[in-house]
């Protein structure tokens, strides 16, 4: 395993109970503690020498009793010698005896860190901070260009002249932009806190869950029964829970540790106004003169009624600061930019620190000239593309790719679990993780490892989505916690077991599994994105029983129901959203339902209402562009597509929509041009699907089938349009048996959803390989006979009847009418591409 920095705990026997709590909070992997390490038959002197030799940090628990112990004296002398030889990186002394004067500490140790503290949880936090600092030295961080923000923070804080009213500062901005780094500097330089204590609060959490997360952050292992503790706190009044949380926060602040709530979507409603639970906590902190706190959020937050809270926005870095960051970060890894190059890269990375890191990693891998010439990648900050390029060039081996894929789905994880899951030796896991740490693709979190935030979604897409064996991971984590019950991340690991078990369908029967409403929300959301709509409905509904006002999960459940064509059930959720006043979301979902039913006028009306009530972003303009195209209003469709492009240049969904529209119009030149862009910005496998439809439009069934198979192989959970296109390509290529297998697989996987598309494909199959009577029967069962594709199918049926039995007078008239509507070439083209020209939104 990676050699984690370990702390040698030196103490007297009389202080053993306190030290045992500290050791348990840190875990066996982090400390050398006699009860963990030394056996009764060991030579104690030899054991101490070996223990300090294997340590990176020496920790003395100073008390009157300690200085009367000959063994503690021996340990101090050994540590002094090791420090002189630079075998120890640091020495920390905790005075745990309130009566012990500072002068009792050996003079050489007084020159190191000495802290008066006797709370086991807070001592463990401080030791863990030193361990993490040593781990983080593998991936240096840089703090530049934030002078204005620091001054703004000081100005805001200085406005609170009443000592009895000090509201928490809200620091907000994009993830990865440096919010927590800024808070660390403010805490140290402006508020006199030695360090910060991050407490991540997840979507769906209320005060009881936040209390658990706070308690585990301060004293890992302090709660033995998470479900029981949650039930106990949930039964209390809001005021009582807030009061108990204040006690824990007060302890932290008194020890010089600033609590920082990292809001991942729990604190506020969709309009940014604090939820009642967290408004109560915010007000209580504001009125307690012994408690300080900071909230880190992705968006600005407001008090009750929309009142302003003291907020500080962390923007992108300015050009000069970005260049400085490029210069110093590049220097440390041997990358040198000249003046012209550094200006170009700074401009195109737009002051976003993750994009700067991406540019440096690419420059180190491929050279500065390649970065400068490939500025488009920086504009889009395509970390996903970068990952795939590294994998294709073998800069990332299979083990690293497997690690990133696993961590993109579940983070953090112990390295031993990662190694077992990926089927690699301990040494290979060490080497591969070292490389990922060096690239800043992963980071240590406590004694475990997680993927960096900007790469989480990118790795998920780049390496095939959720192809992780969730059940196997849950079993490995259960085994790990049985062997290491004192891991200080047991809460987050227990939640991972819970989520992995649900995703695998096995059920969370591990005694270590811990499930909050936030976990049900996360499983529902993840299932929706993986196109497992039944699972999204199941666990989303469970989440809504606990959190009925959660707008995001209700939207995912409603959209999953719509994709399963359960429109009435979806409308019930829309009605609830209207009752909650969430009109922009309600009308967006109603528009989504109407578009799925091909009721484009109704969809436009609903989408326009959603816009009027404040819905913004790429998705709604993409949806409106698609609807207006279907209605034949090409000018308005183009206007909305352009608005979407302005918000997100080269967005993969917009590029795909442009390509789809060009194919529908038969404009192969434009389709090929946009397809080339799509292949640059979307390496996920969907570009292979769209290339397949392009080849189909060109009348090239062989290449079309090859690309269709590639798309279905690369995409972990091929959506309906990808699976339908494969079946169509097999029909076009004359692969009757393969096509029938694909049609059966589509019916099994998607059930009655996409009825007309499935029926149309079976109709086409019967036309090519079966009987015209069967094809005609299927055609009559279509719900909408007026689409171009279905008109093309009808013409194909009539043409086949001419060649066999001839047409009745009525059928002959129908055929002539169809040919008046569209040219024969157009009808044949649309029939050829049935199932192939659905947009990505469909």
Cβ(62)–Cβ(12) under 8 Å?
Answer: no
pLDDT score for 310: 92
Q: Over range 687-702, report the average pLDDT.
A: 90
Which phi and psi angles does 94 have, rounded to 5°?
-110, 115
Q: Which residue has the higher pLDDT, 727 or 271?
A: 727
Read off the pLDDT band of 325 (50, 70, 90).
confident
Per-residue model confidence (pLDDT) at position 381: 47
Averaged pLDDT for residues 392-397: 66
The model's confidence at residue 745, banded by pLDDT at 50, 70 and 90, is very high
The answer to whether residue 774 scores a pLDDT higher than 70 is: yes
From the CA atom positions of the chain, what is the Rg in Å?
Answer: 31
**For the whole model, what pTM was predicted?**
0.73
| Phi, psi (deg, nearest 5) at residue 224 | -85, -30
Q: How far apart are CA 549 and CA 112, in angstroms?
A: 52
If you average pLDDT over every residue of the chain, what do you get? Answer: 84
Cβ–Cβ < 8 Å for 580, 271: no
Res 770 pLDDT > 60 = yes
> Measured between alpha carbons, how far is 659 from 653 in angstroms, rounded to an integer?
10
pLDDT at 277: 94
Q: Tell me the backbone φ, ψ of residue 538, rounded to 5 degrees.
A: -60, -55
- Rounded CA separation 85/103 (Å): 25
pLDDT (mean) for 727-740? 93
Alpha-carbon gap, residue 440 to 93, rounded angstroms: 32
**Token pair for 833:** 């591409």
The distance of Cα 104 from the centroid of its chain, to the nearest Å, equals 50
Q: Are 345 and 362 in contact (CB under 8 A)?
A: no
Average of per-residue pLDDT across 784-790: 80
Residues 6+ apart with CB under 8 A from 445: 411, 412, 489
Mean pLDDT of 239-251: 94
pLDDT at 839 over 60: no
Residue of higher predicted confidence among 812 and 42: 812
Percentage of the residues of the chain whose pLDDT score is greater than 90: 36
* Res 170 pLDDT > 90: yes
Neighbours of 335 (CB within 10 A): 20
Checking if the pLDDT of 86 tops 60, the result is: yes
Average pLDDT estimate for 587-598 = 94
Range in 162-176, 290-304, 337-351, 743-757 the model is least confident about: 337-351
Per cent of the chain over pLDDT 70 is: 87
List, for residues 502-545, the tens digit of each pLDDT value. Answer: 888 776 678 889 999 999 999 998 888 877 888 899 999 999 99
Q: Check residues 734 and 468 and name the one with the higher pLDDT.
A: 734
Confidence of residue 467 (pLDDT cuts 50, 70, 90): low
């Amino acid at each position: 395993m990676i050699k984690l920095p370990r702390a040698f705990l030196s103490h007297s026997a009389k202080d053993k109970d306190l030290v045992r709590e500290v050791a348990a909070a840190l875990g066996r992997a982090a400390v050398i503690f006699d009860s963990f390490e030394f056996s009764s038959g060991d030579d104690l002197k030899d054991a101490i020498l070996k223990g300090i030799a294997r340590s990176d940090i020496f920790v003395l628990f100073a008390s009157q009793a300690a200085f009367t112990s000959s063994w503690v004296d021996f340990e101090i002398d050994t540590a002094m010698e090791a420090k002189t030889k630079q075998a120890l990186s640091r020495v920390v002394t905790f005075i745990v005896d309130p009566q012990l004067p500072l002068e009792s500490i050996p003079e050489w140790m007084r020159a190191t860190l000495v802290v008066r503290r006797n709370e086991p949880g807070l001592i463990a936090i401080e030791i863990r901070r030193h361990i993490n600092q040593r781990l983080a030295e593998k991936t240096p961080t840089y703090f530049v260009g934030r002078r204005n923000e620091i001054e703004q923070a000081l100005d805001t804080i200085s406005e609170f002249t009443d000592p009895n009213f000090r509201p928490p500062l809200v620091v907000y901005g994009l993830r990865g932009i440096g919010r927590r780094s800024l808070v660390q500097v403010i805490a140290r330089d402006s508020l006199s806190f030695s360090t910060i204590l991050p407490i991540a609060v997840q979507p769906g959490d209320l005060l009881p869950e936040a209390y658990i997360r706070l308690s585990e952050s301060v004293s890992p292992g302090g709660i033995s029964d998470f479900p029981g503790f949650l039930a106990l706190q949930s039964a209390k009044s809001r005021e009582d829970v807030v009061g108990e949380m204040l006690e824990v926060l007060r302890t932290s602040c008194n020890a010089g540790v600033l609590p920082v709530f990292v809001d991942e979507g729990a604190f506020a409603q969709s309009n940014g106004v604090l939820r009642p639970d967290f408004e109560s906590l915010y007000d209580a902190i504001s009125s307690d003169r012994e408690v300080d706190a900071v909230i880190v959020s992705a968006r600005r937050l407001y008090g009750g009624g929309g009142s302003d809270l003291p907020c500080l926005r962390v923007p992108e870095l300015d050009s000069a600061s970005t260049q400085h960051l490029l210069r110093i970060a590049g220097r440390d890894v041997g990358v040198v930019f000249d003046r012209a190059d550094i200006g170009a890269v700074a401009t195109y990375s737009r002051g976003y620190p993750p994009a700067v890191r991406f540019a440096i990693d690419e420059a180190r891998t491929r050279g500065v000239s390649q970065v400068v010439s490939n500025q488009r990648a920086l504009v889009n900050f395509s970390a996903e593309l970068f990952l795939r390029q590294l994998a294709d060039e073998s800069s990332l081996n299979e083990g690293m790719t497997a690690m990133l894929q696993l961590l993109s789905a579940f983070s953090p994880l112990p390295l031993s679990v990662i190694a077992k899951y990926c089927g690699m030796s301990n040494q290979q896991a060490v080497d591969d993780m070292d490389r990922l740490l060096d690239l800043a693709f992963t980071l240590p979190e406590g004694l475990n490892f997680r993927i960096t935030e900007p790469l989480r979604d990118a790795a998920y897409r780049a390496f095939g989505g959720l192809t992780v064996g969730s059940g196997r991971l849950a079993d490995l984590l259960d085994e790990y916690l049985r062997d290491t019950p004192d891991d200080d991340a047991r809460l987050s690991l227990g939640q991972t077991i819970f989520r992995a078990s649900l995703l695998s369908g096995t059920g969370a029967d591990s005694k270590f599994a811990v499930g909050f409403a936030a976990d049900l929300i996360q499983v529902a959301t993840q299932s929706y994105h993986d196109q497992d709509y039944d699972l999204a409905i199941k666990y989303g509904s469970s989440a809504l029983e606990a959190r009925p006002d959660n707008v995001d999960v209700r939207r995912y459940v409603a959209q999953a129901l719509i994709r399963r064509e359960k429109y009435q059930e979806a409308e019930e959720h829309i009605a609830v959203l209207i009752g909650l006043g969430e009109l922009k979301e309600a009308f967006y979902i109603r528009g989504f339902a109407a578009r799925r039913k091909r009721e484009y006028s109704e969809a436009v009306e609903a989408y326009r209402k959603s816009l009027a009530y404040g819905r913004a972003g790429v998705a709604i303009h993409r949806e409106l562009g698609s609807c207006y195209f279907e209605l034949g209003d090409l000018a308005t469709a183009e206007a909305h597509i352009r608005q979407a492009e302005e918000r997100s240049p080269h967005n993969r969904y917009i590029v795909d929509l442009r390509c789809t529209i060009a194919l529908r119009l038969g404009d192969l030149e434009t389709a090929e041009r946009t397809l080339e862009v799509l292949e640059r910005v979307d390496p996920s496998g969907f570009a292979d699907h769209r290339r397949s439809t392009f080849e189909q439009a060109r009348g090239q069934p062989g290449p079309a089938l090859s690309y269709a198979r590639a798309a279905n192989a690369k995409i972990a959970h091929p959506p309906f349009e990808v699976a339908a296109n494969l079946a169509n390509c097999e029909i076009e290529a004359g692969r009757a048996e393969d096509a029938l297998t694909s049609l059966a697989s589509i019916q099994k996987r998607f059930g009655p959803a996409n009825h007309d598309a499935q029926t149309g494909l079976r109709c086409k199959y019967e036309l090519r390989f079966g009987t015209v009577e069967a094809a005609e029967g299927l055609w009559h069962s279509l719900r909408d006979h007026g689409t171009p594709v279905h008109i093309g199918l009808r013409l194909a049926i009539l043409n086949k009847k001419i060649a066999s039995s001839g047409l009745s007078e009525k059928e002959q008239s129908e055929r002539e009418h169809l040919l008046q509507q569209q040219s024969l070439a157009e009808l044949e083209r649309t029939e050829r591409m049935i199932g192939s020209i659905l947009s990505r939104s469909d």
